[in-house]
């Protein structure tokens, strides 16, 4: 007999993809549509004990991303973003302030390699916290605790199951499922599900990845990407993902995004990383497929998670973008990037 597949989604949200039944679940665990991750301990050990052709280059490297210290967000006007390292961003869009995957310091077993460009306490009056998935380099309890202390009004938008985990950390956060209350703060979504407030629309979208924070919780919480839209601008945030067909449907569902924030790092060796992390080359291919106007790289320069030196992904990305004539913006840490319509 074949495996039994069920489907999950938040019935209180709009689903933007016609005929989408919900996220497939097998034996209580979320799965990808195309690739089933099987990176067991054997492959991890094989990778860790395999020779790294860039080992000497990594050992001798002394590189950090350029830093523009961000002293305040109060003077930022209009639509804008600031890269804060790895996949962390501050964004102002459609009159809302948004934080993506905030990690202010070190993560378990991995020290931060570049400075966080701001005092975390400057991030106040934040309207939305967006979490792409539960891995420690994207979901950091201490960082969220600090944000929540300064922003008790903040709403959380994330994948199914992730909100429940965070609510367990912070019982004061309330669940959207309990009803339409004015102080609701947690919105869990399945893929292709949208939340709207004022001028802002946020849609949770597929990513080819996985979830896990402990020995036995793999696949219990949904991973994904985000599309943010106003009447004037659209921004795609790819989360953590391998390359797959989900990039090809972005233009069909939303039109070509004005900006695409896409991962470029933690991509070597390809035999091990390919299923779950796009390379700089894949990132530019995905940007071309969705016809993004400007592509901004992320997931690099902060944590040493793979074989390549920290300086490798942005250098490869910039060189390849030039060869393909793709418009990109590589921000410095903390740099305010104004978001503009075509």
- Give pLDDT tens digits for 47-71: 777 888 888 888 899 999 999 999 9
According to CATH, the superfamily of the domain at 77-338 is: Ribonuclease Z/Hydroxyacylglutathione hydrolase-like (3.60.15.10)
The pLDDT of residue 272: 86
Instruction: Give which of 202, 105, 92, 87 is closest to 145, Cα–Cα.
Output: 105
Q: pLDDT tens, 281-301?
A: 999 999 999 999 999 999 999
Give the full edge-to-edge strand order of the sheet including 259-263.
Answer: 14-15, 193-197, 200-205, 225-229, 234-237, 259-263, 294-298
The pLDDT of residue 52: 82
CB 300 within 8 Å of CB 313: yes
The pLDDT of residue 149: 92
CB 274 within 8 Å of CB 242: yes
CA dist 339 → 50, 119, 301, 329, 333 (Å)? 43, 23, 23, 11, 16
Q: pLDDT tens, 69-110?
A: 999 999 999 999 999 999 999 999 999 999 999 999 999 999
Q: For the chain, what is the total number of helices (H) and then of strands (E)?
A: 8, 17
The pLDDT of residue 1: 45
| Residue where the block lists tokens 């035999």 | 271
The pLDDT of residue 38: 58
The pLDDT of residue 185: 85
The pLDDT of residue 179: 43
CA dist 319 → 37, 60, 87, 133, 314 (Å)? 31, 22, 21, 30, 8
For the chain, residues with pLDDT lower than 70 are 1-2, 34-40, 173-184
Domain ranges for the chain, please list them: 77-338
SS3 1: coil
The pLDDT of residue 178: 45
């Amino acid at each position: 007999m074949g495996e039994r597949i069920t489907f999950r989604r938040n019935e209180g949200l709009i689903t933007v993809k016609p005929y989408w039944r919900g996220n497939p679940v097998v034996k209580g665990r979320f799965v990808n549509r195309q690739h089933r991750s099987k990176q067991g301990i054997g492959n991890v050990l094989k990778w860790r004990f395999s020779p790294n052709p860039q080992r000497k280059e990594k050992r001798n490297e002394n590189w950090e991303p350029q830093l523009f210290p961000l002293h305040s967000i109060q003077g930022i006007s209009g639509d804008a973003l600031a890269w804060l390292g790895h996949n962390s961003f501050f964004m102002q869009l459609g009159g809302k302030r948004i934080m993506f995957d905030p990690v202010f310091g070190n993560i378990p077993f991995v020290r931060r390699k570049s400075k966080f460009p701001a005092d975390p306490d400057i991030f106040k009056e934040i309207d939305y916290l967006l979490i792409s998935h539960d891995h420690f380099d994207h979901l950091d309890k201490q960082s969220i605790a600090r944000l929540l202390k300064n922003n008790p009004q903040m709403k959380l938008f994330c994948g199914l199951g992730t909100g429940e985990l965070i609510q367990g950390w912070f019982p004061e956060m309330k669940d959207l499922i309990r009803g339409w209350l004015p102080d609701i703060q947690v919105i869990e979504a399945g893929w292709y599900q949208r939340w709207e407030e004022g001028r802002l629309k946020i849609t949770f979208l597929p990513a080819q990845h996985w979830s896990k924070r402990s020995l036995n919780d793999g696949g219990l919480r949904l991973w994904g990407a985000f599309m943010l839209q106003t009447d004037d601008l659209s921004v795609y945030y790819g989360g953590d993902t391998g390359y797959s067909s989900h990039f090809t449907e972005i233009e069909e569902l939303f039109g070509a995004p004005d900006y695409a924030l896409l991962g470029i790092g933690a991509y070597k060796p390809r035999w091990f990383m390919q299923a779950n992390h796009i390379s700089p080359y894949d990132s530019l291919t995905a940007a071309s497929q969705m016809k993004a106007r400007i592509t901004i790289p992320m997931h690099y320069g902060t944590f040493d998670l793979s074989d390549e030196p920290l300086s490798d992904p942005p250098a490869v990305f910039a060189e390849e973008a030039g060869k393909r004539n793709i418009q990109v913006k590589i921000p410095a840490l903390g740099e305010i990037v104004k978001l503009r319509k075509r």
